């Protein structure tokens, strides 16, 4: 279980105002790289998904677009680290993954919200995840919360905070340790047998299909386990701390800790049939 130290720190920052002119910065960075309008960006996206070989000039233009997100992403990470004391990794979507998303979702390039992303992983329960996500959203004016736990994306669960930055938004993924471990396991399997499984396309190989089905079931198991952990934790109130209740609580807590450890081990040791490690 996570300690409440990070949540306590967040509570102390609930009214913090960050004087960060993200919208102005986002527009300036795009214009500095030659992008004068959203329609110009969308036309680039349309060219990138056409049949046939890609033009090198379009790939260079996409690289310029990616680079515009680097500075806002770095500033968001600095604020999360310095204001909240939380560690987060950062990444820009690769050229290939941007093009794949354009083709898969048939969306406009200017509307993609996760070209720049942070990942914040903490050994915490769902209540702490809720509170940390809420505080992050409050620190960045106009930020939006997207809860992917109730309606997971092909097994993926997390809370996302979309930080507006003009035309260069930054997505912050807030994950519990088990949610992150599951996501890493899915990435490992996808790298081995095909990235499309992350979006619900079943593999042709029966053994591979069984592995993916097992991961989907484990996603549900993790969700149920994390909800139980919160329920057991909340049951330990001052009014209920009788000797018999305390003994039952400790027993439940121990059982859940054992199950949690076993789930972690299964995910960490996951192997894909027929694929060399």
Q: Answer positive or negative: Cα dihedral of 223, 228, 233, 234.
A: positive
* Segments of the chain with pLDDT less than 50: 1-4, 14-21, 238-239
Give the model confidence (pLDDT) of 84-120 as tens digits: 899 999 999 999 999 999 999 999 999 999 999 999 9
Cβ atoms of 272 and 192 closer than 8 Å? yes
pLDDT value, residue 8: 52
pLDDT value, residue 15: 42
pLDDT value, residue 267: 80
Cβ atoms of 194 and 97 closer than 8 Å? no
Q: Where are the domains of the chain?
A: 5-176, 182-268
What phi and psi values does residue 118 have, to the nearest 5 degrees? -115, 150
Tokens of 21: 């002119």
The domain 5-176 is classified under which CATH number: 3.40.140.10, 3.30.70.3170, 3.90.650.10, 3.30.460.10?
3.30.460.10
Rg of the chain over all Cα atoms, to the nearest angstrom: 21
Q: Nearest-CA neighbor of 16 among 162, 176, 138, 112?
A: 138
Cβ atoms of 143 and 164 closer than 8 Å? yes
d(CA 175, CA 120): 6
């Amino acid at each position: 279980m996570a300690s409440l130290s990070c949540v306590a720190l967040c509570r102390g920052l609930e009214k913090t105002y960050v004087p960060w002119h993200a919208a102005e910065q986002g527009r300036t960075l795009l214009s500095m790289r030659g992008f004068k309008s959203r329609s110009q960006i969308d036309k680039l996206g349309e060219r990138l998904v056409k049949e046939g070989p890609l033009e090198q000039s379009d790939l260079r233009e996409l690289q310029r677009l990616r680079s515009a997100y680097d500075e806002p992403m770095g500033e968001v990470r600095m604020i999360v680290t310095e204001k909240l004391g939380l560690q987060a990794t950062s990444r820009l979507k690769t050229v290939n993954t941007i093009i794949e998303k354009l083709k898969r979702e048939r969306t406009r390039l200017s509307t993609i919200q996760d070209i720049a992303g942070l990942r914040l992983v903490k050994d915490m329960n769902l209540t702490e995840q809720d509170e940390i996500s809420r505080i992050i959203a409050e620190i960045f004016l106009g930020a939006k919360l997207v809860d992917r736990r109730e309606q997971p994306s092909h097994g993926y669960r997390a809370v996302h905070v979309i930080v507006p930055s003009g035309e260069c938004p930054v997505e912050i993924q807030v994950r519990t340790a088990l949610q992150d471990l599951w996501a890493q396991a899915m990435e490992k399997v996808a790298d081995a047998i095909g990235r499309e499984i992350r979006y619900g396309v079943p593999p042709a190989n029966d053994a591979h299909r069984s592995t993916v089905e097992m991961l989907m079931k484990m996603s549900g198991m993790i969700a149920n386990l994390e909800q139980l952990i919160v329920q057991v934790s909340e049951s330990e109130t001052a009014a209920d701390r009788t000797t018999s209740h305390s003994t039952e609580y400790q027993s439940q807590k121990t059982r859940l800790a054992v199950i949690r450890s076993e789930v972690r081990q299964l995910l960490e040791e996951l192997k894909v049939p027929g694929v060399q490690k």
